[in-house]
Structure formats: structure tokens, C-alpha cells
Amino acid sequence: MALPFTGNNPGLSVITTGDGSGLRFEEENAGMQNTAGATRPVHFPIVKAIAYGVVIWVVGFIWGSIVFMTPSLKKTPPIPYVSSNPAISFPIIALWIPLTYLLARQFLKKSKTPDAHGMKLGLAFSEVNFVLDVIVLVVLLKAGFTYFAAASIWLAYAMLFVIPWLTGRSLAKAVID
């Protein structure tokens, strides 16, 4: 049984539990507009988003390390303006497509606003990977800023943004239908 809450928040209800153990507070229409017309903030778990972004980056880093330890793969000729090392970039892109989708779906499955959270998640994935590329590859491993001259790198960043965004939009449409 829901009882209206008489405090300052009109969107909060007091719910009696069926087993008689007490009351719980529940916010109605979380992420929706309140009576004043303003939208309520919906919590976005940024630490979890960053952690998922790090997982994606680590998968790519492990594959890159394997390629650099394998002489025949390391000797793969570059494709000018596309990829400085196709043996690294193309398999990573192929691995990241399903991995990004699965992580985005896992992250967004309980979201009340999957479309908005999908866009934020995509930004987090792209930003985390860019920052880690700069810190680890460009600065620590001295790859230089020419690392960013390849189109495959920018395709990967775009993919890391677009896949969670479209996944969120798809989940939002599934909820409406």
C-alpha cells in the first residue's frame, strides 16, 4: 500500500512492506519530470563505466603485446593513413565490437534512462581509451603523437562511443514497445 509522503518531495511515497516488517521510501517516476517541470537527476555509475572502459583498453593492450612478441606479426607492413600496424588494429576493432556491445548491454540493462546513459557510457569508453592511449602508449612506451595519425585509431574511438549509444537507444525503445 502506497501512502503519500507529506515532506517537501512530492515524488516520494511511503510503501508498507507486505510482511509487516516496516516501511520503505520509493521515488516515483525516477528520471522523469517532477511537478515543477524540472527533471530529476538519475544516477550514472561513472566508476563502473570507467572500469568497463579500462577492461576494453586492457583487451586491446594484451593483443598489441602479443603482436609485438610475435616476429611474423610485428613485421606486418603498415597501411598509410589507415593503420600503422594492421595486425594490431584490425583484430582489436573486431574484438571490440562484440565486447563493447556486451559490456554496454550489461551496464544499461537496469538503467531507468538507457538512451541517456548509453551516450554517457560511450563518452566514458572513448575518453578512457584515449587517455590510456596517451599515457601508456604515447608517453610511457614512446609511440609518439603520430600514433593518432591512423584512421583505425579514430574509428575505434568512434565505435566505442556509437555502440553503447545505439545499445541504449535500442533498450529504451524496447522498454517503450
pLDDT for the residue numbered 57: 98
91 and 159 in a single domain? The answer is yes
14 and 75 in a single domain? The answer is no
SS3 at position 141: coil
128 and 168 in a single domain? The answer is yes
109 and 154 in a single domain? The answer is yes
33 and 108 in a single domain? The answer is no
Q: What is the mean pLDDT of residues 72-100?
A: 95
Tens-place pLDDT, residues 3-40: 444 444 444 444 445 555 454 444 444 455 555 555 66
Residue 24's domain comprises 1-41
14 and 95 in a single domain? The answer is no
Residues in contact with 128: Cβ distance below 8 Å, sequence separation at least 6, in sequence order:
50, 53, 54, 56, 57
26 and 55 in a single domain? The answer is no
How much is the mean pLDDT over the chain?
84
State how many domains the chain has.
2
Tens-place pLDDT, residues 87-131: 999 999 999 999 999 999 999 998 999 999 999 999 999 999 999
51 and 30 in a single domain? The answer is no
Predicted TM-score (pTM) of the model is 0.75
7 and 58 in a single domain? The answer is no
Percent of the chain exceeding pLDDT 90 equals: 72
Q: What's the CA gap between 132 and 134, in Å, rounded?
A: 5
